[in-house]
Chains A and B, each alone.
Chain A
Amino acid sequence: MLQEESDLSLIIAQIVQKLKGSNLYSQLERQAWASLQRPEIKLESLKEDIKEFFKISGWEKKLQNAVYSELSVFPLPSHPAAPPEHLKEPLVYMRKAQGSWEKRILKSLNSMCTELSIPLARKRPVGEQKELLNKWNEMGTDEPDLSLFRPVYAPKDFLEVLINLRNPNYENGDSLSFRTHLGLIQVPLKVKDIPELKECFVELGLNIGQLGIDDSTQVPPELFENEHVRIGQKVLAEQDSAAAQQYIRQGSPTALRAELWALILNISSQPEDVLYYEQLKTNVIQHDLLVDSLIYKDVKLTASNDDYYFVFEDYLYQVLLCFSRDTSVLSHFAFNSASPPKSYIRGKLGLEEYAVFYPPNGVIPFHGFSMYVAPLCFLYHEPSKLYQIFREMYVRFFFRLHSISSHPSGIVSLCLLFETLLQTYLPQLFYHLREIGAQPLRISFKWMVRAFSGYLATDQLLLLWDRILGYNSLEILAVLAAAVFAFRAVNLMEVTSLAAAENLAAHSEQFCTAPLFPELYRVQIPCTAELRQKEECSLLDSKSHSTEQRS
């Protein structure tokens, strides 16, 4: 038996195993039983007839979508000898760093508990439960005293940890040499270069239509927009996840976006899902968590202050408070380098039967966490659906932005990709910023950690998140961050301080994301010598380059 074949069998076996526990499985079983009534199902050819029935009725497509979803989310089965922690994170030093970071967070939370004399969790008295239930749709009107609470950490603190990451086996000498990393990230992870990015993001090429550029008012809709919308409607009619994921790489029409994202994330609001959400709501009513106050504080500090998102404040509480109680989120820790914090029931310290996770979903929110949810409020208004979409986005993508891992979509790789792109293609700018004490990553880090939420206008942000879904990767965040610097290169060369650089770069809202992607590719085109001449011009003669962009 060749190894590749047994690998495939193992993957299939794993997927079947996972799906066996799902709603879809029981639905398929019920449908199969019900189909026996149908005249076209004959006993002699039972198996084939039922398969045919599934194909015609659309159930096979639902199964395909579920399989596709599993393949997108769960990593391939690893070597049989590999322990579970290897699947979380293969590099030992990264695991250790994540462990130390987590310990610091736990200590911080514990000290907050002791200082404020507030328990991590408590059961609400009946009166308080009733009150909260009545206020459920307007929790934003509550003005609890949050002055004593502070966020457990901010992206800045996390960046310091990443800067200090070292591979103990990596020798790059004490003296500055060509091998020393000029940027802040000092670990030698493999990141894509521009030729590889071009290959990967081929649909973002200059010769392919994009929503965000080619649907602007100057461009006649017959050229691209109409056809693209038509294809989108067809994809939705077919209910094909894989096709939707491919389609959305060129951006999603606003009217179709909510459905397309739900299709790609394989989310269909079943009665069981609504019930599950209601159960989570009950958990919120019954138990009060310290983490709730952190969530309140975060929403008040970030989303409520944002022009685009303050209207959704109540939704944010309804999603995030429930999220903290959702134990189904725990399963993603199998492939997350992070681990859920542990605690013991009061008085039962050390007794494993009384060991629990805290919060129940194992995720401690940090400053800005609510911004992962805010943009979704534009798309989904039904709380349980909004909740499901956010949860799926978190366990597929967002968790990688605040845990230390070597994954290509992990924040460490994104930082390194950003720095490498900038150093390679804008070396003068990189050197200049470094000289004035404005390391570019210090400016762009917060953009990437929040997936640009709050830093881009919402319509632009949703176009960006279209691509995250389409490519099933967060690398686009690093590319965009580098493109922002490329776009502002001329002005950035003139700044003399970190503050000025931050200020300049922060006004990102004034331009579109979509044109920025071809912008970066324009920096290097693998072509004949003649074209190479042109592109060298555009690097040196940045003034004409940027005026060209603005028109």
Chain B
Amino acid sequence: MSRVLVPCHVKGSVALQVGDVRTSQGRPGVLVIDVTFPSVAPFELQEITFKNYYTAFLSIRVRQYTSAHTPAKWVTCLRDYCLMPDPHSEEGAQEYVSLFKHQSPSVTFPKWLSHPVPCEQPALLREGLPDPSRVSSEVQQMWALTEMIRASHTSARIGRFDVDGCYDLNLLSYT
């Protein structure tokens, strides 16, 4: 099953705040980002990827259309998912995050399985090791990728720091 990027429109964030928004004293702790999908055809959302910027907890709600006759419902898929274990420190503050949809028989309430925060140590060696044939196919993929990179890399001269025997330099470059 191939996966494609779904075109979406991400609106600017809106602060949820009680009272006068203009006062600088009360800084809102909750922001809402609306994401709309312009394409009309229904799709199955597999993965949401984003880069965090100092958001500590994330909740995701989706408005689902179940059938033509019933009105669309708001469903909470994720509640207070922790992106920053300690919101007062930098852990997880600028990390890339992926949230996945776990295959589940229930259609109306999708279960979400989240990607472990990259700074955590993944639980190595759970029950048994991964399937060797899958690992070897991954290795082959990586090998192909490395070959591609190596081919396009211009300055990969292993061991040699000079250019055709010449290392006559003027000044250091700032770019």
Give residues in A with beta carbon < 8 Å to B: 2-5, 7-14, 16-17, 20, 76, 78-79, 81-82, 86, 90-92, 103, 106-107, 109-110, 113-114, 119-123, 167, 169, 171, 187-190, 279, 283, 287, 325, 327-328, 341-346, 349, 352-358, 360, 406
Contact = CB atoms under 8 A, between A and B. Distances in A.
A79 B171 contact: no
B168 interface: yes
Contacts of A344: 169-170, 173
17 contacts: A8-B130, A9-B135, A12-B135, A14-B142, A81-B98, A110-B171, A114-B171, A119-B168, A122-B168, A123-B166, A167-B90, A188-B89, A188-B90, A190-B86, A343-B172, A345-B168, A345-B169
A113 B171 contact: yes
Contacts of B34: none
A107 B171 CA distance: 9
Interface stretch (B6-14, B66-74, B157-165): B157-165
A342 B159 CA distance: 17
A429 B21 CA distance: 44
B129 to A, nearest CB: 8
A16 B130 CA distance: 15
Which of B90, B115, B126, B160 has the most chain A CB atoms closer than 10 A to its own CB?
A: B90
Interface string B122-135: 11111001100011
Nearest to A188: B89
B161 A79 contact: no
The B interface, classified by DSSP as helix, strand, loop or mixed, is loop
Interface in B45-62: 49, 51, 53-54
Which 3 A-B residue pairings sit nearest by Cβ, starting from the closest? A360-B161, A79-B96, A190-B89
A120 B169 contact: yes
B154 A356 contact: no
Contacts of A190: 86, 89-91
Given A81-B49, A106-B172, A4 B163 contact: no
Contacts of B86: 190
A343 B170 contact: yes
Contacts of B100: 3
Given A343-B172, A344-B173, A79 B98 contact: yes
Interface of B: 27, 49, 51, 53-54, 86, 88-91, 93-98, 100, 113, 115-116, 118, 121-126, 129-130, 134-135, 138-139, 141-143, 146, 154-155, 157-163, 166-175
Contacts of B118: 76, 78-79, 82
Contact of B94 (A91, A287, A341): A91
A90 B94 CA distance: 6
Which of B27, B86, B172 has the most chain A CB atoms closer than 10 A to its own CB?
A: B172
Nearest to B87: A188
A188 B91 CA distance: 9
B89 A353 contact: no
A10 B172 contact: no
B94 A342 contact: no
A445 B72 CA distance: 61
Contact of A353 (B143, B163, B172, B173): B163
B154 to A, nearest CB: 6
Contacts of B170: 119-120, 343-344, 346, 349
B119 to A, nearest CB: 8
Nearest to B140: A13
Contact of B142 (A7, A13, A109): A13
B91 A356 contact: no
Contacts of A283: 161
A3 B113 contact: yes
B168 A187 contact: no
A292 B65 CA distance: 70
Contacts of A325: 161
Contacts of A114: 171
B124 to A, nearest CB: 6
A122 B170 CA distance: 10
A79 to B, nearest CB: 4
Contacts of B96: 78-79, 81-82, 86
Contacts of A328: 159
Contacts of B166: 123, 345
Contacts of B116: 3-4, 7
A480 B159 CA distance: 39
Nearest to A91: B94
Contacts of B123: 4
Contacts of B54: 169
Contacts of A355: 155, 173
Contacts of B113: 2-3
B173 A342 contact: yes
B172 A341 contact: yes
Contacts of A5: 130
A415 to B, nearest CB: 14
Contacts of A110: 171-172
B173 A123 contact: no
A16 B132 CA distance: 13
Contact of A189 (B90, B124, B159, B175): B90
Contact of A187 (B90, B95, B97, B143): B90
Contact of B161 (A7, A82, A187, A356): A356
A353 B153 CA distance: 11
Contacts of A189: 89-90
Contact of B143 (A4, A17, A92, A360): A17
A92 B116 CA distance: 22
A211 to B, nearest CB: 29
Given A3-B115, A122-B168, A169 B97 contact: no
A287 B167 contact: yes
Contacts of B115: 3, 79
Which of B51, B130, B169, B170 has the most chain A CB atoms closer than 10 A to its own CB?
A: B169
Contacts of A358: 169, 172
A12 B171 contact: no
Contacts of A13: 135, 138-139, 141-142
